Amino acid sequence: MLVTFYGVRGSIASPGPSTIKYGGNTSCMHVRLNSGENLIFDAGTGIRKLGLRLAHNDEPLVLLLSHGHWDHIQGYPFFEPIYQKDREIKVLQGVEGNAQELKALLTQMDGSYFPVQAADLPSRLSTVTEVDAYLAHRNFRTERQAINHPGGGFAYRVEEDGVSFAYVTDNELFPPGTAATSYDQWVAFCEGVDLLVHDAQYEEADMPGKHGWGHSMISQVRKLAVDARVKNLVMFHHDPERTDGQLDEIALASASYFRGQGARIGSWVAAEGLVFNLRRASDPLVKTIEIDRIE
């Protein structure tokens, strides 16, 4: 399972000299499964560069939307495969029975907001509204969990050939009011995952003003990683104001926290081009992870 980061920011793209190291594009990840299937998680501005790489083959693509907020769909009109004749693309909406995010994905290409209209695209786009039924018949195992975020949405856990990956973005672990998913349920959902990618947009200084905005504090995500006994944690969906220097400090503080907890957890801060190769070794009790960086 090859996991690659193409967009790691939340809310709005933030290019500039202070975000060069980790990147300024909004949410997008690519997972290449051993079966050859291509899973794309969200279509923020990071999907543009991913599209340039995927344009060199004609493999079918599956786009899994966590939800339909702008920073998770705004890169779609710049995704090269949608302009390829007969390229097969399936879009899975994040909220069961709610077509709003699919509508937002396509109506941004209405000729007014964008010069090309969705109806004129040569690719073969189909939408999947019965997401669980569709995923149940794939060569890999997928679980979904409702995120705590305004408007709703879903996190995903994918398992294949003995390794696992979880994508949990735009999720507030301790929201005000009734949570769609409780903290204990998140611990169970993430239990033992080889690679957990979790929203970590805020710090304590951002509260209480941003409580209820649908994002977690970094300290809460660290605790979740320990409680769920994950193997590797990648903090994701960085605040657009967070600089490279500040993210470096967060990386050091996280490593120190896990050492203090006696937890053998690989700790990472999401960066564009970061690649994780998850595989099971010949011994079925041993998992290996290789880390690389693409430009």
Ordered by start, the domain boundaries in the chain are 2-293
Q: What distance in Å separates the CA atoms of residue 221 and residue 205, rounded to the nearest whole number? A: 16
Residue 94's pLDDT is what?
53
CATH of 2-293, one of 1.10.1060.10, 3.60.15.10, 3.40.50.1010, 3.40.367.20: 3.60.15.10
The pLDDT of residue 279 is: 86
Residues paired with residue 156 on neighbouring β-strands, in sequence order: 144, 167
* pLDDT for res 15: 95
Is the pLDDT at 2 greater than 90? The verdict is yes
Radius of gyration of the chain (CA): 18
Beta-strand ranges (E) seen in 93-199 are: 124-128, 141-146, 154-160, 163-168, 195-199
Element at 90 (helix H, strand E): strand 88-92
β-sheet with 274-280: strand ranges across: 124-128, 88-92, 61-64, 38-41, 28-32, 2-7, 274-280, 287-293
* 66-75, 264-273, 285-294: range with lowest mean pLDDT: 285-294
In this structure, the strands spanning 141-146 and 154-160 are antiparallel
pLDDT higher than 80, residue 100: no
**What is the per-residue pLDDT for 111?**
86
What is the residue type of 269?
Answer: V
**pLDDT tens sequence across 39-51:** 999 999 999 999 9
**pLDDT tens digits for 228-285?**
999 999 999 999 999 999 999 999 999 999 999 999 999 999 999 999 999 876 655 5
pLDDT digits (tens, 9 = 90+) for 176-193: 999 999 999 999 999 999
pLDDT for res 101: 59
What whole-number distance in Å separates Cα of residue 172 and Cα of residue 1?
Answer: 27
This prediction has a pTM of 0.94
Average pLDDT for the chain: 92
Beta strands in 182-265 (DSSP E): 195-199, 232-236
pLDDT digits (tens, 9 = 90+) for 189-220: 999 999 999 999 999 999 999 999 999 999 99
- Please say if the pLDDT value at position 118 is more than 70: yes
What's residue 284's pLDDT? 59
Mean pLDDT of 131-156: 91
